[in-house]
Amino acid sequence: MGAVRCLRARRKYEEGVAAGRAGRWEEARAALTDSLGLFTAEGMTHHVPVVLEPLVTACMFAGRLDEALRHAQALRDFADGSDDPMDRGTWLGKYGEVLSQIGRYPESAEVLRQAERALAGTADREARELRWSCLSDLGSVLAYAGWFGDAETVQRQAYLLGEELGSRTRMALSASQLVLAVSGVGHPERALEWAETAVDCLDPGEDSAVVAEVQGNRALALSAAGHHDEAEEAMRRALDAAGDVPLLRSQALQVRMETTRRAGRLDESASIVDELLARLPEDQFRPRAMALNHRAVIRLQQGRPAEAVADLEAGLRLKEQVSDQRGLATGHLNLAHAHLRAGDPAAARRHTEQAEPLWEALRRAGADESGAVGLFEQHSVAVYQIKQEIALAEGDPAGALAAAEQGRSGPLSARVRTARPGRESVPGDPPGPDRIRRLAARTGATVLLYATHFDLADAGFPAVVPGALHLWAVLPDGRIRHHTAPDFDPSVSGGPEPRDAAEAVRLLERQAGDERVRAEWARVLLEPVADLLPRGSGARLVVVPQRSLWSVPFGALPLPGGEPLIERCSVTLVPSLHALEMLTVEDAWAAGPPGGAPEDVLVVGGVEDGVAPAPLDGSPQPLPVVARHTAEAVAALHGAKPMTGRVTVPAVLARLGTADLLHFSCHGLVDTRLRLDQPPGALALTPVHDTGAAASPEEQGQLTTPLITATPTRARLAVLACCATGQGLITMDGVLGPVRAFLAAGVPTVVGTLWEVPEGPTHEVMVRFHTELRAGGDPAEALRRAVLQARRDWELPEIWAAFTLVGSPGPARSVPAQSS
């Protein structure tokens, strides 16, 4: 009898596997369940994990997540007792996949990391294919959990591994998951690029599950970018590929309810939610919670906050069943939004207080700079916007200002605080109203702080569609004023209307010479506070932008009467008031202009043999020699000798930590990622020797942002007279690029450019700036005078408006602060 049962068990196993390959998941589940029972009854435990692996997959695709979890837990137990890397990686990977499906993201991420580590040292193809699966699943989990920086790093590793394996299917899946990761840090263009890459990797006759995922994520990317008709077509393809497979159908419907809502088809989106809830079993807590959360968003948009509260409370109870920490954090914040819309700020505050520690715990999970910034991106949008709205609803604009400042004091502030001795005397928490008043008085500056509010978080992900723009003015005498800025009028562009504020800013960058566009942004950003703007000799304005406003050339915006802002006062940008507080805690400029002795000055320019990594394969592309005469002229002003010709990274690093003044006139690469897990940006110097794509950044002559950040410096000023060094990856924590890197290294004041400026005007501006700086010792005022001279010589704003100063504006002014 035992032999017969064993033969039957093997036959049932083979039937189940064949049914799974054909997509008949319920049939596969039934046959494999029978096989498992027979092998177990015979005591043939060595066959059990072999059956459990496809059984877990069948249960997941059949929509039976409770069974999948039970069987996956048994696989984990087998993995714990195995010394075989393949078995351990396979079984742990399957368990991690199920944990992801039910929303236990932190636990899933840890299990998948264990699986990937078990396979890392095994080089045969089967092990590498399995390692790809672990990396891809891990990247997906990190994105769902909101750890977008880490998700991008891991998913890129999976993409490259798929490329090494020659598997277009694996490349397509990794590229598709990268859509979610890069969308999470607010880059719709890059998300669309990855979405199209994923589609390009699909072969005719591709597996329907792969097509459903790729087209679904492409639909999300198109929808987020405002391409609703194209998103609809991608969504149709995803639904066709999903067919009636329960798991695929549910996932496709979740994407569809989002794309229809973004397109404004609220009734249709609500009906999709109802269909999804009817299809989902009662024990699928996480998908049901996401659907309820989505319906609540629709009801809020329809002006039905009481019904939204009911859905959100039901969703919160479901998330508690699976310990979905990110879902709980988002659920509490959505309830805060709903209660605020319903006119109950006290209830909104209670839910915000419950959400904040949950988000704080998630934010601390960032493994590197990229992950930390990505987590802060989500944390700041999710928590501090609602705190601002609650304070404003309670008539407390100063409290709203403090919440807005909390929402921008992130990883960069922590780096700035530890970059130089003495800054630790500044409290580690962001400043409240009283400290902000004292800061404005000490710097003698009027402060303008902007905060963009975004659409309500939905389905666990904060939306990136900008809403109202709030601004606060803080005067040196302590007065604080709050305004809601008027909407930008897109008709002034004279071309296709921008879909959102971010695109409007990019339009401004492209059309800096368009007087109507500049005037419209002046109406939005300056007109509400025009009567409060400083005027006169040495008058200072400190601007705290947010996200895309970093691209605005504030100095070129016209005031009533037509004069640009730079005619009236100097303009300094800072990523946060907390950072400014630390950058100015010790008056670095009290000792006079920087570069008092020739050995204190480092000037780099006229670099020979510089290269830029090609976007696709990283191969070095030659760059022309630029700005030798600028470097020589600037060095001569300070009595120093410039570094020109062959200038290597080690040679510059040897001087970077000792100079008081740094000046670079070379090629800047602001969108270059030489390592996938590092922030973008580099200054192009001379390679150490002839190198290829496999060489390190230092060998390729790239002074990268991580290298700059990791090199402590005593410099008080860094001047980056290179193309677009003020740009980079725009986040809630400022702009990840060269300017930020020097701030993080300890430099209190950095000069950069918002776009590429011709070499001749750049030379004149830089020589004039250094001349004014040596005469007056006030960097913000020196740059203002240099720019005004350039405006007289070249009227076009495209020439003179790009130069920007970030950090400390200059010597303390000691204006007495008032208490109100």
Encode pLDDT of 127-171 as tens digits. 999 999 999 999 988 887 767 767 888 898 999 999 999 999 999
Question: What was the pLDDT predicted at 814?
Answer: 62
The string of DSSP codes covering 506-559 is HHHHHTTT-HHHHHHHHHHHTGGGGGGS--STT-EEEEE--GGGGG--GGGSBP
Share of the chain above pLDDT 70, in %: 89
Looking at this protein, which amino acid is placed at residue 221?
A
Q: How far apart are CA 661 and CA 370, in angstroms?
A: 29
pLDDT classification of 462: cutoffs 50, 70, 90: very low
Question: What was the pLDDT predicted at 470?
Answer: 94
* Res. 732: pLDDT tops 90: no
φ, ψ for residue 508, nearest 5 deg? -60, -40
pLDDT classification of 498: cutoffs 50, 70, 90: very low
Question: What was the pLDDT predicted at 248?
Answer: 86
* Res. 258: pLDDT tops 90: no
Is the pLDDT higher at 736 or at 189?
A: 736
Segment (H or E) for 384: none
Average pLDDT for 429-457? 89
- Choose the weakest-confidence range: 52-66, 255-269, 350-364, 764-778: 350-364
For CA atoms 579, 582, 587, 592, the dihedral sign is negative
* Res. 342: pLDDT tops 80: yes
Dihedral angle, C-alpha 322, 323, 328, 330, nearest 10 °: -80
* Res. 500: pLDDT tops 70: no
Question: What was the pLDDT predicted at 104?
Answer: 82
pLDDT classification of 501: cutoffs 50, 70, 90: very low
pLDDT in tens, 675-691: 445 677 889 999 986 65
Q: How far apart are CA 316 and CA 312, in angstroms?
A: 6
Report residue 2 as tokens. Answer: 């035992």
Question: What was the pLDDT predicted at 817?
Answer: 45
Looking at this protein, which amino acid is placed at residue 323?
S
Is the pLDDT higher at 325 or at 59?
A: 59
- Residue of 100, 172, 205, 196 lying closest to 142 (CA atoms): 100
Is the pLDDT higher at 703 or at 323?
A: 703
Task: Name the DSSP class of 564.
Answer: B
Average pLDDT for 362-383? 67
* Res. 496: pLDDT tops 50: no
Question: What was the pLDDT predicted at 676?
Answer: 45
Question: What was the pLDDT predicted at 819?
Answer: 42
Question: What was the pLDDT predicted at 746?
Answer: 94
Average pLDDT for 309-329? 85
Question: What was the pLDDT predicted at 184?
Answer: 66
Average pLDDT for 605-626? 81
Half-sphere exposure of 549 (CA within 13 A, CB side): 28
Place of tokens 């400390």: 808
pLDDT in tens, 283-299: 778 788 888 988 998 88
* Res. 522: pLDDT tops 50: yes
- Choose the weakest-confidence range: 125-139, 349-363, 566-580, 750-764: 349-363
Expressed in angstroms, the distance from the first to the final Cα of the chain is 91
Strand partners, 735: 730
- Mode of pairing for the β-strands spanning 643-645 and 682-684: unpaired
List CB contacts of 529: < 8 A, sequence separation 6 or more: 448, 471, 473, 481, 483
Share of the chain above pLDDT 90, in %: 51
Q: How far apart are CA 804 and CA 787, in angstroms?
A: 10
- Alpha carbon 274 to its chain's center: 33
Average pLDDT for 778-799? 94
* Res. 776: pLDDT tops 60: yes
- Choose the weakest-confidence range: 187-191, 487-491, 556-560, 813-817: 813-817
Q: How many CB atoms lie within 10 A of CB 189?
A: 12
pLDDT classification of 460: cutoffs 50, 70, 90: very low
* Res. 733: pLDDT tops 70: yes
What's the Cα-to-Cα distance from 414 to each of 391, 409, 462, 618, rounded to whole Å? 26, 8, 24, 32
Dihedral angle, C-alpha 702, 708, 710, 711, nearest 10 °: 110
Question: What was the pLDDT predicted at 371?
Answer: 59
Question: What was the pLDDT predicted at 504?
Answer: 47
Q: How far apart are CA 89 and CA 312, in angstroms?
A: 38
Question: What was the pLDDT predicted at 459?
Answer: 37
pLDDT classification of 186: cutoffs 50, 70, 90: low
Rounded to 5 degrees, what angle do the CA atoms 187, 193, 198 make?
A: 125
Average pLDDT for 599-606? 95
* Res. 721: pLDDT tops 70: yes
Mean pLDDT for the chain overall? 86
Question: What was the pLDDT predicted at 617?
Answer: 58
pLDDT in tens, 233-245: 999 999 999 998 8
Report residue 26 as tokens. Answer: 């319920």
Question: What was the pLDDT predicted at 392?
Answer: 92
Is the pLDDT higher at 458 or at 760?
A: 760
- Choose the weakest-confidence range: 415-419, 495-499, 711-715: 495-499
